[in-house]
Amino acid sequence: MKDDSTDEPDILVELEPPTWPSWSAPRLAPGGAVDAGLEAARINLVKVFSATKSRDREKLGDRVSDWLAANPTVEVLRTSVSQSSDAGFHCLSFVLFCAATTTT
């Protein structure tokens, strides 16, 4: 899905669901919390938002919010925010690790 208000491309990666060997299964951590392996097994969509121009970086949060509002069947499980720079450019990236469900 491309946000036409910027020159920066959005990246969307859909992942195949994992298969578990018969001898292995995700488990709950002590206290009933979800094991990180189980959460990772639910990730089937990765959405990357990035911007290098100052004007685009200022609007990046709004782009993420708009995308989430337009995709109500997506549950964000993990996030990663990174900033990288060189002498002339500063890149800000938001990576959303999601579980996308389909409605029938």
Residue 44 maps to a domain? yes
Residue 21 maps to a domain? yes
Residue 41 maps to a domain? yes
User: What is the block-wise mean pLDDT of the chain (104 residues), using blocks of 10 residues?
Assistant: 53 61 47 57 89 92 95 93 87 92 66
Please report the pLDDT score of residue 98 as a whole number: 92
Q: How far apart are CA 29 and CA 25, in angstroms?
A: 13
Please report the pLDDT score of residue 86 as a whole number: 85
Domain count of the fold of the chain: 1
Residue 75: give the domain boundaries: 11-100
Please report the pLDDT score of residue 101 as a whole number: 82
Residue 5 maps to a domain? no
Q: How far apart are CA 95 and CA 60, in angstroms?
A: 12
Residue 94 maps to a domain? yes
Residue 25 maps to a domain? yes
Residue 2 maps to a domain? no
Please report the pLDDT score of residue 67 as a whole number: 95
Closest C-alpha among 55, 63, 48, 62 to residue 94: 48
Residue 32 maps to a domain? yes
Please report the pLDDT score of residue 24 as a whole number: 45
Q: What is the pTM of this model?
A: 0.63
Tokens, residue 34:
């979800």
Please report the pLDDT score of residue 25 as a whole number: 45
Check if the beta carbon of residue 101 is closer than 8 Å to that of residue 43. no
